[in-house]
Amino acid sequence: MRETTSLGPWIRRFLLEHLVSERNLAANTRLSYRDTLCQLLPFVSARLHKAVDRLAVDDVSSKLVRAFLGNVEDSRGCGIATRNQRLAAIHALARFIGEHSPEHIAWSAQVRCVPYKKGTHAAVPYLDKLEIDALLACPDRRTQQGLREYALLLFLYNTGARASEAAELTVADLHLDHSNADILGKGRKRRQCPLWPATVGELRALVADRGPQEHVFLNRCRQPMTRFGVHALVERTAAKAQSDMPSLATKRVSPHSIRHSTATHLLSSGVDINTVRAWLGHSSLETTNVYAEINLEGKARALAKCEITAGQAPTKRWHADANVMKFLRSL
């Protein structure tokens, strides 16, 4: 078997060279691609009764890719978004092999013709200002742990940062004298985000004894928080806040819903949508337009409260008002 026909070497080059050196993808994206292949290869191996290390490129046919995607939805219980995410990784692998191996161009085209599945767009979850205030009021700021939790929650709401962005933030990324922070986002793109004076004060106290390369947000063991730790903190705080704000029990509260809340509240306060796009680090304005639609719904509800009811008596026209006419004749 020629080396170019074996799938193993291609996957090694794809994961260790292409994704890292050529595309410079973020670590979480690379892990997502790896996880897809960790699911795909055993599935193909079982269907063909062939050892994983003996699989050839052509064994991963478009028919088996479709069967794998069906398995992702049916057996694993994943949604359409996850299914499409897995397909994106497979498309990327097929494109890479097709670009470097002319004999596999036809195979690459067939695999890349497997279409993404269209799904319904779920409503963007966000919290009202009172619900955000309830979250921020939960940490006991008389304790060191409470101060750390409050600083993280305030930073998430101030910046609209993703959980991974907050977890990776270092002291060197903070420019507290200038009230801003550098955030490393998707696609390894950096953006500057302004900080409120209250956020600056909390962060200044939090990192007072830290070196530039240390992480800003640490857990109780003084180890850097992971994105899973950030998620756990937000969910734990939301569960605690439900006693004072029962409406939180009906919402799925996560770092991303706080991010949505930041965008929605910025637009509601009159901030330009392009500024919000830069604030959140969106590469396309189309992504940010989702929040503009939410803002329009809020304006429509406000307008409905001002609507004249059908039974309201019409205002009398000026020339039908006897007092007005009497005044005009006296001039």
Active-site residue, 256 included? yes
Cβ–Cβ < 8 Å for 98, 107: yes
Can 54 be counted among the known catalytic residues?
no
Q: Tell me which of 83, 86, 104, 259 is the catalytic residue.
A: 259
Is this structure's pTM higher than 0.85?
A: no
**Looking at 162, 191, 215, 265, which residue is catalytic?**
162
Annotated active-site residue in 104, 112, 277, 282: 282
Residues 256 and 133 placed together within one structural domain of the fold: yes
On whether residue 42 sits in a domain, the answer given is yes
Helix, strand or coil for residue 72?
A: helix
Please name the residues in contact with 28: beta carbons below 8 A apart, sequence gap of 6 or more: 164, 227
Instruction: List pLDDT tens digits, range 275-308.
Output: 888 888 876 666 676 666 665 555 555 555 555 5
User: How do beta strands 180-184 and 174-175 pair?
Assistant: antiparallel
Q: What was the pLDDT predicted at 164?
A: 92
Catalytic residue among 86, 215, 256, 277: 256
List 186, 210, 231, 240, catalytic entry = 186
Does residue 187 or residue 77 have the better pLDDT? Answer: 77
Query: Is 291 among the residues known to form the active site?
Result: yes
Same domain for 162 and 16: no
Q: Are residues 134 and 68 in the same domain?
A: no
Domain range holding 78? Answer: 3-112
CATH number of the domain within which 286 lies:
1.10.443.10
What digits encode the pLDDT tens for the residues 147-168? 999 999 999 999 999 999 999 9
Region of 270 (left: φ > 0; alpha: ψ -120 to 50; beta: rest) is left
Q: Is 102 in the same domain as 233?
A: no
Q: Which of 62, 28, 321 is nearest to 187 (CA)?
A: 28
330 inside domain: no
36 assigned to some structural domain: yes
